[in-house]
Amino acid sequence: MNLTQIIAAGRRRNDDEVEPYHFGQTVYTQWANNAVVEACLRSRSFRDDATSAVCNITLTQATASYTLHDSVVVPRRIILTDGQRKQPLELLTFSEMDHTENRWDTTQQGEPAAAVLDMTGRTIRLYPVPDQAYTMNMLVWRLPVASEELSAGSDIPSILPTWVHKDLEPWLAFEFFSQHDVDVHDPDQANMELAEFTARFGLRPNAFELIKWARDGRRSAYAHFM
């Protein structure tokens, strides 16, 4: 489905097909983009290790912390390279590092062996601190970047499998019935639409669950599509 088709489906669902519309094209376009983001976030539907601006970070000697790209939900695997060798980094939490290494949060330099995830601050802290320039390549679950947002009617949410595009409809209805407009506001209907969307794509994760996702390779990235 392209953006025009997604909006048309949303309007049918919301009984908003006749002009003057309750909400215009710009609003529905934003809702459609919100639906794609929520679907990606909840289902981990897009894995990427090839988009350089998102997946690659150049490390600097004596710098321990690095900020994740805004589109990254969570890194799943991190590979360190110095241009010749490739070495996977162990993904750990601050608590695990505290139990594993005494005084690990120091300026000790060396070849990094562990990446400590701070999903609240959206940073990765390396241990040991890099002793030279390296490149860090990540396999990540991510959200759409700006160039993947829907804007033209022919745009397709290619970041999602085509066979789940129709399942975006309940989110457009959730947004519609959540508006503080006396003619459409209906919290009960909004909750029903959200429940249907959640049944298809899963619950919205908290920071603790994101850490678990990063380290749990046993669950399929398409778990909520099966």
Query: pLDDT truncated to tens, each residue of the chain (226 aa)?
Result: 999 999 999 999 999 999 999 999 999 999 999 999 999 999 988 899 999 999 999 999 999 999 999 999 989 999 999 988 899 999 888 877 887 776 677 788 999 999 998 877 789 999 999 999 999 999 999 999 999 999 999 999 999 999 999 999 999 999 999 999 989 999 999 999 999 999 999 999 887 787 777 766 433 333 343 3
Which contiguous run of DSSP H or E holds residue 124? strand 123-127
Give the position of tokens 């048309």: 8
Phi-psi region of 103 (alpha: psi -120 to 50; beta: other; left: phi over 0): left
Instruction: Report the DSSP beta bridge partners of residue 92.
Output: 116
Please list the alpha-helical segments (H only) found in the chain.
3-14, 25-43, 52-55, 94-100, 169-178, 187-201, 207-215
**Orientation angle between helical segments 3-14 and 169-178, nearest 10 degrees:** 50
Q: At what angle do helices 25-43 and 169-178 cross, to 10 degrees?
A: 120
pLDDT of residue 103: 65
Residue type, 71: S
The 10 Å Cβ neighbour count of residue 15 is 11
| pLDDT score, position 107 | 80
Q: Provide the pLDDT for residue 67.
A: 96
> Residue 120's CB: how many other CB atoms inside 10 A?
11
pLDDT for the residue numbered 216: 67
Cβ–Cβ under 8 Å, residues 30 and 179 = no
This prediction's pTM: 0.85
Distance CA 50, CA 41 (A): 19
Do 59 and 111 form a contact (C-beta atoms < 8 A)? no
Residue located via tokens 């991510």: 142
If you ran DSSP here, which 8-state letter would residue 144 be given? P
pLDDT on residue 224: 40
| Of the candidates 78, 150, 172, 153, the residue with the CA atom closest to the CA atom of residue 117 | 78
